[in-house]
Amino acid sequence: MYVTSVKCSKCEQEYSPHNLLTVCKDCGGALLFQYHLDKVAEAISKETLRYRESTFWKFKELLPITSPKNIVSLGEPYTPLLKLPKSLVKPFKNVYAKDEGRLPTGTFKARGMAVTVSKLKELGVKRLAIPSAGNAAAALAAYGARAGMEVHAFIPKDAPETTIKECFFLGAKVHLVDGLISNAAALMNKLKDQHGWFDASTNKQPYRFEGYKAMAFEIAEQYNWKPPDAIIFPTGGGEGVIGLWKGFKELVELGWINETPRIIIAQSTGCAPLVEAFHKRANELVKPWPNAQTIAAGLRVPSPYASYLTLRAIRETNGNAIAVSDEEIIQSMKSLLKSGVYACPEAAATLAALNKSVEYNVFDPDERILLCLTGTVMKNFDLLTVNKDKLSSNH
Ligand SMILES: Cc1ncc(COP(=O)(O)O)c(C=O)c1O
Ligand SMILES: [Zn+2]
């Protein structure tokens, strides 16, 4: 293992990677694994990696798992890049989508949970709890089921039906909660210590980020080590963006790429706390977004923990932040489907943000832009209506 320590992203306090960790004991900051990157660069190269199988575990030297026997896998493929037709992305000329819906459980959350469950298995954890808008809990339930762990999923009652069913049939104990993910978190926090559950909340442990890093590694390799100029990522809690950014930074330090792409987050106008904080030049969120409401459940996070880190990722990469309406999201889901692309509402928000960006001059038409389509539409077809009477054949 090439891990040197785990460091607080706020006060730089260091922790042992061999201990079970949540957040910084001194300041509550998010913890991030640190690697001996010089040694990684001696052990592997871009060239040697070419001969390894293209799966999520290919960059194992940059993951925190000590022994391969602890890896809990459901078969994680490289997700494909799909070129998007000009008609969808006018006036932009070079736009690809990374289709994360191909992963187990149909979303990118599988990446974070594959690493989290593997590392927790290594550390002897057997019982976990998570507050979630749905997809993160489903991914944790799937990997937990694979590892034989007890998973407690705290989910808002109005979360997408499929994700609730997923958690239940995967064997998780489902706790449905009135209100939002913040209410789910409050209930879980009340119960977790008395039951001895490990808190797998977004940004409150260092393990999930490590899984999301693999998106950066795959993207860099798929772009032949010249990653796109900009990436649009749908953002709720911010963990995906933080992981993506961390992965690219490690590649820059390894000397394998020159620069981290600009990171542009997409949120919903019904819940856009990070977009607002970014444009107000705030370093951190000061208050929760009031009356959060959007069809994109994963983006309905009124008060993300460690918001300073997502904002840092956007600023350090010279990125931006764009909010789009639910109508624009639905329209984008439909246009993507017309091109054969399966995008859930969160994922479709990236295309809506690209279209909206024209108003703000965020991109040059020639820039190489990548949309991270974080999940499949298969769980959300109920959001698209069809009049069956009109389809009935009169022949
Ligand atoms: C499909 C999908 N995309 C994006 C997000 C947002 O991810 P994050 O919370 O890491 O910002 C979520 C969160 O649940 C999600 O389910
Ligand atoms: Zn700290």
Identify which of 79, 109, 244, 278 to mutate to test ligand 1's pocket (most ligand atoms within 8 A of the CB): 109
What is the whole-number distance in angstroms between the Cα of residue 197 and the centre of ligand 2?
23
| Cβ atoms of residues 261 and 229 within 8 Å | yes
Residue 394 has pLDDT above 70, yes or no: no
Residue 303 has pLDDT above 90, yes or no: yes
| Cβ atoms of residues 192 and 129 within 8 Å | yes
What is the whole-number distance in angstroms between the Cα of residue 43 and the centre of ligand 2?
31
What local confidence, expressed as pLDDT, does residue 251 receive?
98
pLDDT digits (tens, 9 = 90+) for 36-51: 999 999 999 999 999 9
pLDDT digits (tens, 9 = 90+) for 266-294: 999 999 999 999 999 999 998 999 999 99
Note the ligand closest to the C-alpha atom of 232.
1
Residue nearest to atom 16 of ligand 1 (CA): 298
Domain layout of the chain by residue ranges = 81-107+207-383, 109-199
Residues in the chain: 395
Q: Which residues line ligand 1 (CB under 6 A)?
A: 107, 109, 133, 135-136, 202, 234-240, 298, 344, 346-347, 374-375
The alpha carbon of residue 20 and the mean position of all alpha carbons in its chain are separated, in whole angstroms, by 22
81-107+207-383 and 109-199, same CATH topology? yes
Which of 104, 109, 59 is CA-nearest to residue 240? 109
Residue nearest to atom 9 of ligand 1 (CA): 237
Note the ligand closest to the C-alpha atom of 24.
2
Residue nearest to atom 13 of ligand 1 (CA): 298
Average pLDDT over every residue of 339-363: 97
What local confidence, expressed as pLDDT, does residue 216 receive?
98
What is the whole-number distance in angstroms between the Cα of residue 3 and the centre of ligand 2?
19
pLDDT digits (tens, 9 = 90+) for 51-72: 999 999 999 999 999 999 999 9
pLDDT digits (tens, 9 = 90+) for 124-181: 999 999 999 999 999 999 999 999 999 999 999 999 999 999 999 999 999 999 999 9
What is the whole-number distance in angstroms between the Cα of residue 387 and the centre of ligand 1?
30
Which of 320, 313, 321, 212 is CA-nearest to residue 260? 313
Residue nearest to atom 5 of ligand 1 (CA): 298
What is the whole-number distance in angstroms between the Cα of residue 314 and the centre of ligand 1?
16
Q: Report the nearest atom of ligand 1 relative to the CA of 107.
A: 1
Residue 12 has pLDDT above 70, yes or no: yes
What local confidence, expressed as pLDDT, does residue 354 receive?
98
Q: The tokens of 61 are what?
A: 């030297």
For the ranges 94-98, 145-149, 333-337, 387-391, which has the lowest average pLDDT? 387-391
How far apart are alpha carbons 79 and 102 in whole angstroms? 6
Please write down the HEC assignment for all residues of 259-277: CCCEEEEEEECCECHHHHH
How far apart are alpha carbons 357 and 322 in whole angstroms? 7
pLDDT digits (tens, 9 = 90+) for 180-226: 999 999 999 999 999 999 999 999 999 999 999 999 999 999 999 99
What is the whole-number distance in angstroms between the Cα of residue 24 and the centre of ligand 2?
5
Residue 117's pLDDT band, with cuts at 50, 70 and 90, is very high
Note the ligand closest to the C-alpha atom of 377.
1
Q: Report the nearest atom of ligand 1 relative to the CA of 346.
A: 3
Note the ligand closest to the C-alpha atom of 14.
2
Q: Report the nearest atom of ligand 1 relative to the CA of 310.
A: 11
Query: Given this structure, which CATH class describes domain 81-107+207-383?
Result: alpha beta
Residue 390's pLDDT band, with cuts at 50, 70 and 90, is confident
What is the whole-number distance in angstroms between the Cα of residue 50 and the centre of ligand 1?
30
What local confidence, expressed as pLDDT, does residue 388 receive?
87
Residue nearest to atom 14 of ligand 1 (CA): 298
Q: Report the nearest atom of ligand 1 relative to the CA of 238.
A: 11
What local confidence, expressed as pLDDT, does residue 391 receive?
87
Q: Which CATH number fits domain 109-199: 3.90.1150.10, 3.50.30.30, 3.40.50.1100, 2.60.120.260?
A: 3.40.50.1100
What local confidence, expressed as pLDDT, does residue 300 receive?
96
324 Cβ partners below 8 Å, 6+ apart? 266, 267, 268, 269, 332, 349, 352, 353, 356
Q: What's the Cα-to-Cα distance from 55 to each of 51, 52, 73, 158, 258, rounded to whole Å?
A: 12, 8, 11, 34, 24
What local confidence, expressed as pLDDT, does residue 72 receive?
98
Residue 395's pLDDT band, with cuts at 50, 70 and 90, is low
Note the ligand closest to the C-alpha atom of 137.
1
What local confidence, expressed as pLDDT, does residue 357 receive?
98
**Whole-number average pLDDT of the chain:** 97
What is the whole-number distance in angstroms between the Cα of residue 10 and the centre of ligand 2?
5
